[in-house]
Amino acid sequence: MNSKELVKNAIGRMVPTEVNGKTLIPFMGVGKYKPTGRKYAPMIATCADYPSDGNKTVPSLKDALIKAGLKDGMTISTHHHFRNGDLVANQIFQIASEMGIKDLVWFPSASFECHSALIEYLKDGTIHHIEGSMNGSLGRFTSGGNMKGVGVLRSHGGRYQAVQDGDVKIDIAVIAAPTADPFGNANGVNGPAACGLLGFALADSQYADKVIVVTDNLVPFPCIPWQIHGNYVDYVVKVDQVGIHEKIVSGTTEITKSPDRLLLAEMTAKFCEQTGIIHDGFSFQAGAGGTALSIGIYFADILKEKGMKSRWARGGSNKYLVKMLEEGLVEYILDGQTFDLEGVRSMRENPNHVDTSPFTSYNYHSKGNFASMVDVTILGATEVDVNFNANVVTHSDGILLHGIGGWQNCLFSKCTILPIPLFRDRIPVIKDEVTTICGPGELIDVIVTERGIAINPLRKDLIEKMKGSSLPVKTIQELKEEAEKICGVPDKPVFGDKIVAIVKWVDGTVIDIVRNVVN
Amino acid sequence: MKNIAETGNKGKGVRSDCYVTLQLTNEGGLNINLESKVKVLYGKNIISLTEKIFKQFGIENANITIEDTGALDFVIAARIEAAIHQLTERDNEYLPEMLKESKYKTTKEKYRFTRLYLPGNSPSLMLNAGIHKPDGIILDLEDSVAPAKKAEARFLVRNALRAVDFYGAERMVRINQIPAGLDDLDYIIPHNVNLILVPKCENPDQIKLLENKISLIKKKHKINDSFWLMPIIESTLGVINAYQIAISSPNIVAMAIGLEDYTADLGAKRTNEGTESFFARCQVVNACRAAGIQPIDSVFSDVSDMEALKQNVLKSKSLGFDGMGCIHPRQIKVIKENYAPDADEIEKAKKIVLAFYDATEKGLGVVSLGSKMIDPPVVKRALSSIDTAINVGKLSKDWRNEVI
């Protein structure tokens, strides 16, 4: 793509107005883009076309894909609740490749290293491009400029938005399910591949033209709970194994042992305490990383000491959050994904541990969502710039390595804190300009590093509250200079002319692009 | 002399370090082969640093491979210099710039509740050591460095003393046992080390040897500063000679006990109760108090059990110790908090100190609290408790105004 076809968006990045044959809208600012009209709707189905005995099973995934009308250029969706233990997505494209199908679009809710096998099908033309996330090896492949089409990166909420406003039309949704019945009702709480819930597949079930449920634990009707309703499902396939249990949920998630990360967690928790963010009835969300887990521990200590409790916490859940729920320090967990076996157990047993989907939590086209109601959200980032813009998809060397996940959506919380080390193996985290903007600085309130805390100048209230604090409050510029003094000023990566991926904002507009890496 | 030199660390889990392989050649110039995870961002920087070092040593022909995992300049420089020294005798050094933040001195009376041990050949642990706020940071050249790595560790420790900001923590180095440890001094005395730990100290003569060598280096480099010493008593003989060692130099500010070696020497098993070392600990505390220096306890090796550490510190404090070594940053807070005065002690100290100020203001020679006269040593201890409480954050600097 030639750079003269690019336009400058509201955050100053040059973005294309068309990729993969689709027209794009440049980012206009937070909350500015408001499409009108009616939502996209799937094809009208007629129950007379489906077996009256409710048995929709077909012998194999290949049969199901053929019955679903698999053909060149289709968009195939999968979910990522099996994380790095997914055995289904790769099979779909292996079948498609054997059938000689070309130019498919893979629309996963996220990708993992286990999906690196798909590089083969990206190379042989079975897959044209990926819309979702390109992690690890897939990211490196994409950054090398090797994908036929242009990758599209979306948040979990942005994925729901794209489905609802018709930006992405799913031809076939393949929903791997830990338990299902022949009618297609499915859940994630039971079965050998139990993953807790199937919220990321909800939109797919409702909006795809054809829906295939694949399970290794077929139970007689009814499959209870029915997190996915069989009424949306066309075909059910029984296979030997849908996922590798130990890679789906870890037996145990452990808090970090790294003293530096524990310090970050402790400083973050103290910040929340000193600013009054932690109060009786507050809500919080912390991610899955070791630092985030540790923050939960410090939160629990503070709540206990003060005799307070949290009204609700957002998952991903883990044993530490479950313990808080069971000890009464948290009243409800509203959970998007379960990270360990304790999370799965709690969701199965405890009515206050509730499964959610991107519709309730993150969707731009919902009439409000939970993300903006959270008092404090703790997130990560690969880079932050002096304007608090942050990057989660590329590294400082320019290579695409991560998806957005729920990160963009979570920025809408009342206070977004990024606890990040000031540098990682010599690479400073704070830059003049991030390599890729994934989140606008106006939504990022606080950066906590081991050498100081920077508060966004827009948050005068927080700055005021931290006056006289024993915590080291510095400007983001000071932190940047401190890191560069230690590490040296890094050179910039050299990019090629090719746009290999675009980064969508939660509303579907284009906030930034990723170019191929030359060096 | 060897033909090929290899220095540094590589392999699984190694970060912020580099592995240098060097071969000196007769022609063909400098061939630098850099493999680095930060090559895109710092490749040019690393190459130009390498060229600069070789120029300084007057080496024009060599094959160098640098396998880098994000090492900072001071690390790369130390590794290259150590490699050069393996292959040639050169009376030359490449010194990274001395940070102005690293030029501070410490006082004899400074608190030494916590001092964090860092293996002297592991750069990744050095960078963030200071942010955990130990009273002292020990760059260790002794037991945590493998014999084959002793030589290269000296360069790394020297460069760390110059280029790493320890954020006010007392800059300490544990040298090797005297006499071998005397050779370590050339790498640390000219680079503003604050305190030297002298391991396996058994007699005052070792301290004399040490002081002589320090004087020579000071003369050579025209340095006037004092270098504090902390002998570590780790043998039965050392325990017997504890007092003589403690008074063997005016620069000795503290003396520590090392129980691992001591119990081995004693022929007893080291237990959690510590009955076998009770005598030795008391002896060291007594020797230190008699000599007017700080008695420092042995490290606590279970880094995961903070409650056991706390109990250990409380017991140590009750024996009279003033501090303890740390082998993990998470131990710092627990150790500091528990050596520091507890709430009752602080309350009592506040009353005594207020009475003392009151008496001073009124020009009274005698401090009294209620009907009781307070002896000067009690006042002194109360003042010290208040200082400590402020130092560890248990008491506000403004506590007198807050009381009133």
For the cut 90, the answer to whether the pLDDT of residue A195 exceeds it is: yes
Residue A353, sorted as left (phi over 0), alpha (psi -120 to 50) or beta, turns out to be beta
CB contact under 8 A, B41 and A450: no
Which of the two residues, B374 and B121, has the higher pLDDT score? B121
CB contact under 8 A, A263 and B73: no
Secondary structure of residue B357 in the 3-state scheme: helix
The number of beta carbons lying within 10 Å of the beta carbon of residue B280 is 26
Residues 45-64 in B contacting A (C-alpha not used; CB under 8 Å) = 45
Contacts of B375 (CB under 8 A, 6+ apart): none
Mean pLDDT is lowest, of A235-239, B88-92, B119-123, for B88-92
Residues 93-152 in A contacting B (C-alpha not used; CB under 8 Å) = none
Residues 314-373 in A contacting B (C-alpha not used; CB under 8 Å) = none
Closest by CA position to A309, among listed A285, A333, A330: A330
**Helices and strands (H, E) in chain A, number of each type:** 15, 30
The number of beta carbons lying within 10 Å of the beta carbon of residue A245 is 17
Q: Could you report the per-residue pLDDT of A114-154, keeping only the tens digit for each?
A: 999 999 999 999 999 999 999 999 999 999 999 999 999 99
Identify residue A154 by its one-letter amino acid code. R
A494: nearest CA partner in chain B: B40
For the cut 60, the answer to whether the pLDDT of residue A2 exceeds it is: no
For the cut 90, the answer to whether the pLDDT of residue A290 exceeds it is: no
User: What does DSSP assign to residue A439?
Assistant: B
Domain ranges within chain A, ordered by starting residue: 45-131+168-248, 251-492
Mean pLDDT is lowest, of A198-202, A410-414, B377-381, for B377-381
State the sign of the Cα–Cα–Cα–Cα dihedral A153, A155, A158, A160. Answer: positive
Residue among A259, A396, A450 minimizing CB distance to B41: A396
Secondary structure of residue B101 in the 3-state scheme: helix
Residue among B37, B45, B131 minimizing CB distance to A425: B37
Q: Could you report the per-residue pLDDT of B17-75, keeping only the tens digit for each?
A: 999 999 999 999 999 999 999 999 999 999 999 999 999 999 999 999 999 999 999 99
CB contact under 8 A, B131 and A396: no
Would A45-131+168-248 and A251-492 be classified into the same CATH topology?
yes
**A246 at interface of B, judged by CB pairs closer than 8 A:** no
**Domains by residue range for chain B, with CATH:** 4-87 (3.30.230), 100-339 (3.20.20.60), 343-403 (no CATH)
Residue A196, sorted as left (phi over 0), alpha (psi -120 to 50) or beta, turns out to be left
Residue among A262, A398, A451 minimizing CB distance to B330: A262
Q: Kindly report the CATH number that applies to the domain delimited by A45-131+168-248.
A: 3.40.1080.10
**A398 at interface of B, judged by CB pairs closer than 8 A:** yes
| Mean pLDDT across A235-262 | 87
- pLDDT, mean over chain A: 95
Q: Kindly report the CATH number that applies to the domain delimited by A251-492.
A: 3.40.1080.10
- Residues on chain B touching A490 (C-beta within 8 angstroms): 38, 41-42
For the cut 80, the answer to whether the pLDDT of residue B392 exceeds it is: no
Secondary structure element (H or E) that encloses residue A6, with its range: strand A6-8
Q: Please report the pLDDT score of residue A251 as a whole number.
A: 65
**A493 at interface of B, judged by CB pairs closer than 8 A:** yes
CA distance A301 to A323: 12
CB contact under 8 A, A426 and B45: no
State the sign of the Cα–Cα–Cα–Cα dihedral A424, A429, A433, A438. Answer: positive
- Residues on chain A touching B127 (C-beta within 8 angstroms): 486
**B289 at interface of A, judged by CB pairs closer than 8 A:** no
- From the CA atom positions of chain A, what is the Rg in Å? 23
Which of the two residues, A294 and B244, has the higher pLDDT score? B244
Return the residue matching tokens 């528990």. Answer: B338
Residue among A259, A263, A487 minimizing CB distance to B328: A259
Q: Please report the pLDDT score of residue B398 as a whole number.
A: 83
- Residues on chain A touching B73 (C-beta within 8 angstroms): 488
Q: Are the CB atoms for B170 and B194 separated by under 8 Å?
A: yes
**B345 at interface of A, judged by CB pairs closer than 8 A:** no
Secondary structure of residue A446 in the 3-state scheme: strand
Backbone angles phi, psi at B98, to 5 degrees: -80, 120
Q: How far is CA A369 from CA A166, A327, A364, A414, B15, in A?
A: 20, 28, 8, 13, 42
Query: Bridge-partner residues for B325, per DSSP?
Result: B115
Q: Please report the pLDDT score of residue A3 as a whole number.
A: 47
Cα A424–chain centre separation: 23
Residue among A259, A470, A494 minimizing CB distance to B330: A259
Identify residue A261 by its one-letter amino acid code. R
CA distance A69 to A72: 10
Predicted confidence band at A26 (pLDDT cuts at 50, 70, 90)?
Answer: very high
The end-to-end CA distance of chain A, in Å, is 20
Q: Tokens at residue A13, please?
A: 């990045």
- Residues on chain A touching B125 (C-beta within 8 angstroms): none
Q: Could you report the per-residue pLDDT of A427-466, keeping only the tens digit for each?
A: 999 999 999 999 999 999 999 999 999 999 999 999 999 9
% residues pLDDT > 90 (chain B): 80
Q: Could you report the per-residue pLDDT of A59-113, keeping only the tens digit for each?
A: 999 999 999 999 999 999 999 999 999 999 999 999 999 999 999 999 999 999 9
CA distance A471 to A446: 13
Return the residue matching tokens 């698999």. Answer: A70
Q: Which residue out of B18, B34, B41, B99 would a mutagenesis test of the A interface target, given it has the greatest number of A Cβ atoms within 10 Å?
A: B41
Q: Are the CB atoms for A189 and A210 separated by under 8 Å?
A: no
Q: Are the CB atoms for B389 and B395 separated by under 8 Å?
A: yes
| Mean pLDDT across A179-193 | 97
The number of beta carbons lying within 10 Å of the beta carbon of residue A474 is 17
CA distance B245 to A312: 61
Predicted confidence band at A1 (pLDDT cuts at 50, 70, 90)?
Answer: very low
The string of DSSP letters for B312-346 reads HHHHHHHHT--EEEESSTHHHHHHHHHHS--HHHH
Q: Which residue out of B38, B67, B392 would a mutagenesis test of the A interface target, given it has the greatest number of A Cβ atoms within 10 Å?
A: B38
CB contact under 8 A, B131 and A519: no
- Residues on chain B touching A426 (C-beta within 8 angstroms): 16, 38, 41-42, 70-72
Query: Bridge-partner residues for B174, per DSSP?
Result: B140, B197
Q: Please report the pLDDT score of residue A231 as a whole number.
A: 97
A449: nearest CA partner in chain B: B131
Mean pLDDT is lowest, of A329-333, A373-377, B88-92, B185-189, for B88-92
Q: Which residue out of A394, A425, A434, A484 would a mutagenesis test of the B interface target, given it has the greatest number of B Cβ atoms within 10 Å?
A: A425
Residue among A260, A425, A493 minimizing CB distance to B40: A493
Mean pLDDT is lowest, of A409-418, B250-259, B327-336, B356-365, for B356-365
For the cut 80, the answer to whether the pLDDT of residue B402 exceeds it is: no
Residue among B15, B45, B131 minimizing CB distance to A488: B45
A494 Cα to chain B: minimum distance (Å): 8
User: E strands, A414-476, where?
Assistant: 416-419, 423-424, 427-428, 430-431, 446-449, 452-455, 473-474
How does strand A473-474 pair with strand A452-455?
parallel
